[in-house]
Amino acid sequence: MNENMNITPMNSAQIRQQERFDRKGTAVAEKMLRQVRELSHMPETLEPFLKTLESIFSRREDALRPQGVPTVGTYCVMVPPELIYAQGAMPVKLCGGSYTAFGIGDDIAPRDACPLVKAVMGFEEIDAMPVYQNCSLMAVPVTCDCKKKLAGWLQERRPTAVLHVPANRDRDEDMERFVGELYRFSEQLEQMTGFSLTYGRLADACRMTADAQYQLSRFIDLRRKHSRIIRGSFSMAVMNALSYTWLPDWTKQLSDLNDELASLAKQKKTAAKENQPRILLTGSPVIFPNFKLPLLIESMGGLLAADETCMGERGFYDPPAIVDRTVDGMLRALSNRATRPCTCPTFADNLRRIYRIRQLIKDYRIQGVIYHVLRGCLVYDYEYRQLEEEMGKLGIPVIRVETDYNEEDVEQLRIRVEAFIELIKYGGKQE
């Protein structure tokens, strides 16, 4: 297995490809960040999050962390960060959002594979993203078909841990099987870092994530009570930055942001006007720098009030409910959290997602839903029909927006999003 260092010298074509990747990758990231910064009412305390994204995608540095801590690349929310932190490593969520990497991966992966997987394959080929390159271990939960094949593909190139996520979750033994997977994963982590899983370390890690989730709960609470306090694109930036930030740092940054928002709330300042339609974005994940859709929504006069995507709020929403303060009890809680409340459509029965969306609609007084489907993401596409029916019952307009990792369809999307927002403003459900 290639230990990811460039042993063979690159030929001129590869060098050119690398240079093109550097140029275009930086350009796209810079452009997205600039568009985020240009949005009105950006809180000052959002800057550290944007700086993280800048460092990873624009300057292509490695994730900032204490000396000597290895990184574990994770894909999907089912990999518990608590376990990785407990054994002395740092998790970085590597689901790919980069257009340039996608372009490279397009040649390697089958044509109809999802762009996320193509971007990851692009990262592997191009050898120019330290946050990807320097990972000592890749943890891939086997959820959808593309992730499954990605796991096999990565296994041939790097040390990979494969986690079998149960597709059925009505029986207790399904959840307990995942506990076994976590124990096996823990052994692989131990081989990598040398730290074994003890109660003290796991309790400390759980406390660390609990602090972070506490701040996230505050953030959500503020947005629920004062629904126009912050733009959705900024929230997306906050959640995306989590993937690459050392958790206590992220907690501190979010705590500062919460304090600023609380003071803004006291002064009754809002980021959007009352008549701006409140939109919920759900479906395939929105991963930086693919911020096309959130930016479009907010620049066309809407407010992205909430999102139900796994790189957004869902990526860190569910806390592990530790009922038994032992190692086994904590792992059980982590397994429970990864399987039961998860609204990933790769589970055979995903009715809870509809309820979740209904609750979000209630909490944030949502007026319209944009269903985001990445081209090639079959599982979200399957669920669209049922969601459309449910939204019909509630009288909330839904549109299905299919997009890919390139900038060619921005204009078409703009027209559709604009029309949708107009529809809500003048014809749809008015609050």
Nearer to another protein, 324 or 407 (CB): 324
Q: Which residue has the tokens 């307009």?
A: 397
- 313 binds another protein per the rule CB under 8 A: no
Site for another protein in 207-246 (CB under 8 A): 207, 210-211, 213-214, 217-218, 221
- CB 79 within 8 Å of CB 51: no
Cα gap 307→66, rounded to integer Å? 32
- 347 binds another protein per the rule CB under 8 A: yes
- 272 binds another protein per the rule CB under 8 A: no
- CB 39 within 8 Å of CB 296: no
Residue from 19, 324, 407, 431 touching another protein (CB under 8 A): that is: 324
CA atoms within 13 A on the CB side of 329: 9
- 269 binds another protein per the rule CB under 8 A: no
Task: Tell me the closest approach of the beta carbon of residue 389 to another protein, in angstroms.
Answer: 10
Nearer to another protein, 379 or 424 (CB): 379
Task: Tell me the closest approach of the beta carbon of residue 136 to another protein, in angstroms.
Answer: 20
Site for another protein in 379-398 (CB under 8 A): 379, 381-386
Nearer to another protein, 31 or 340 (CB): 340
Site for another protein in 412-431 (CB under 8 A): none
Task: Tell me the closest approach of the beta carbon of residue 266 to another protein, in angstroms.
Answer: 19
Helices of type H across 267-364? 292-299, 327-339, 351-364
Name residues whose C-beta falls within 8 Å of residue 363's C-beta, 6 or more positions apart in sequence. 224, 306
Cα gap 79→77, rounded to integer Å? 5
Length of the chain: 431
Task: Tell me the closest approach of the beta carbon of residue 400 to another protein, in angstroms.
Answer: 9
Cα gap 204→210, rounded to integer Å? 10
Task: Tell me the closest approach of the beta carbon of residue 391 to another protein, in angstroms.
Answer: 14
Residue from 172, 411, 426, 427 touching another protein (CB under 8 A): that is: 172
DSSP 377: -
Question: What is the DSSP annotation of 39-105?
Answer: SSS--GGGHHHHHHHIIIIIS-PPPP--TT--EEEE-STTS-HHHHHHTT-EEEE-----HHHHHHH
Nearer to another protein, 290 or 336 (CB): 336
- 54 binds another protein per the rule CB under 8 A: no
Nearer to another protein, 60 or 201 (CB): 201
Of 36-44, 51-59, 93-101, 179-187: span binding another protein (CB under 8 A): 179-187
Nearer to another protein, 291 or 405 (CB): 405
Of 89-97, 256-264, 324-332, 364-372: span binding another protein (CB under 8 A): 324-332
Cα gap 185→221, rounded to integer Å? 34
Q: What angle do CA 250, 256, 261 make, to 5 degrees?
A: 120
Residue from 341, 394, 406, 423 touching another protein (CB under 8 A): that is: 341
Site for another protein in 81-140 (CB under 8 A): 109-113
Cα gap 241→257, rounded to integer Å? 14
- 142 binds another protein per the rule CB under 8 A: yes
Site size for another protein (CB under 8 A): 85
- CB 174 within 8 Å of CB 162: no
Site for another protein in 357-376 (CB under 8 A): 358-359, 362, 376
